[in-house]
Amino acid sequence: MMSRRQFLRSTLTTAAVCLATVSGCGKDDATSWFEYTKWRVMVKNLSAAFDGFRILQLSDIHYSEWMDHKRLMNLRAFINEQQVDLIVVTGDSSYHTEDFTDLVTFYEGMPQIAPVLMVFGNHDIWDGAEETFQPIFDRGVRLLCNDIYNITRNGQNLIVAGLDCAYEQRDDLLKAMSKMPDDGSQALLLVHEPDVAPACAQTGRFFLQLSGHSHGGQICLPNGYAPVLPYLGQHYPRGYYDIHGMMLYTCRGLGRGKPYIRLNCPAEMALFTLSSGNKAEFKPM
């Protein structure tokens, strides 16, 4: 007997296939298959040097049969045109990937646009990322595994912390925090799985967490309900949340998991512009 989850998956998949042409799922030019969302993030006590600092988030690229060479290179061409100060990759560049040549080419030269910081997602780990991603790191992409990265401007600092894959229980929040300055300042946090946010927020050390993992549900009902969501991506599946005073943004991601269909949940690349202010605030630009 088919379970409720299997029934919903089967029904939604069939519906999505029928609607693929109408919804534009078949388009593959440079920008038609994703939304470029832009957000202003007001940060209390942000150093003046980082007012207007622009962060581009790439998540869940899922290099695969769907995210093929053509789409990946079109995506890279679009990124090349953006004026940003930092590029963050919040996990799952790979997806059952065997040949990493195109992924290496995708990241080749990207650190010349802006520093590129990456955290691992579960599919990266399952694809042997510590070995298979080494050519990417050799080209200047910086991996944050329970580590921090310090950006200095005009003598002022912005700390970016990154946690390793929580899905595989490799995250170590205390280890990452032990490397942060002990002055009580807040950092930007990168972690693939959004549902770790409450524990991170309780520390009071992060003003914004950027995550991915859930694909926003990928296949959703017209009201936005996602019948199937992954472990650690069920409570905060997409968009903005205020978690105990910490801002959280879960990007819907650029790629697709099987079945390679999105319904009522378009792919996304997100841009965040930091702004100094007397309170924390998150709003569209």
pLDDT tens digits, 198-226: 999 999 999 999 999 999 999 999 999 99
Which segment of 16-30, 74-88, 208-222 scores lowest on mean pLDDT?
A: 16-30
Residue 32's pLDDT band (cuts 50, 70, 90): confident
What confidence tens digit (pLDDT) does each residue in 124-146 have? 999 999 999 999 999 999 999 99
CATH number of the domain within which 21 lies: 3.60.21
Token pair of 121 as six digits: 């997602």
- Please report whether residue 279 resides in a domain: no
Residue 17's pLDDT band (cuts 50, 70, 90): very low
- Please report whether residue 99 resides in a domain: yes
Q: How many domains does the chain have?
A: 1
- Please report whether residue 23 resides in a domain: yes
- Please report whether residue 98 resides in a domain: yes
- Please report whether residue 206 resides in a domain: yes
Please state, rounded to an integer, the average pLDDT across all residues of the chain: 91
Please state the rounded mean pLDDT for residues 264-269.
Answer: 97
Which residue from 103, 236, 122, 217 is spatially nearest to 168, judged by alpha carbons? 122
Q: How many CA atoms lie within 13 A of 65 on its CB side?
A: 5
Handedness of CA 62, 64, 65, 68 (dihedral sign): positive
| 230 pLDDT more than 80 | yes
Give the residue numbers spanning the domain of 68.
Answer: 4-33+54-272
Query: CA-CA distances (angstroms) from residue 92 to 187, 190, 214, 275?
Result: 23, 13, 11, 29
- Please report whether residue 227 resides in a domain: yes
- Please report whether residue 230 resides in a domain: yes
- Please report whether residue 47 resides in a domain: no
The alpha helices in 26-133, defined as continuous H runs, are 69-80, 101-107, 122-126, 129-132
Which segment of 25-34, 62-71, 177-186, 240-249 scores lowest on mean pLDDT?
A: 25-34
